[in-house]
Amino acid sequence: MTLLYRYKKEGAGTLIKCYADMIMSDYTKGDLKCPSCGQEFARHAVIHNRPAHKIIRGKVFVRGHHG
């Protein structure tokens, strides 16, 4: 497993999108591909007029909640 982001998630539930302005640390090259295996894990999108990364279902697992 490879760490992709440190992200400040809003609300409960499944991770469907990551707003770019809520990513605290980005461990990728910014190309939305896993640095270890090269697989695409998200697509660029604009949601509610905010740049976002729309997560491809089943590609990303959320680990822990650090408040």
* Three-state secondary structure of the chain: CCCCEEECCCCCCCCCEEEHHHEEEECCCCCCECCCCCCECEEEEEECCEEEEEECCCCCCCCCCCC
Q: Looking at residues 53-63, what average pLDDT do you find?
A: 89
Closest by alpha carbon to 20, among 33, 11, 7?
7
| pLDDT value at residue 12 | 83
| pLDDT value at residue 40 | 96
pLDDT digits (tens, 9 = 90+) for 2-39: 999 999 988 888 889 999 999 999 999 989 999 999 99
On whether the CB atoms of residues 32 and 44 are closer than 8 A, the answer is yes
| pLDDT value at residue 65 | 63
| pLDDT value at residue 10 | 83
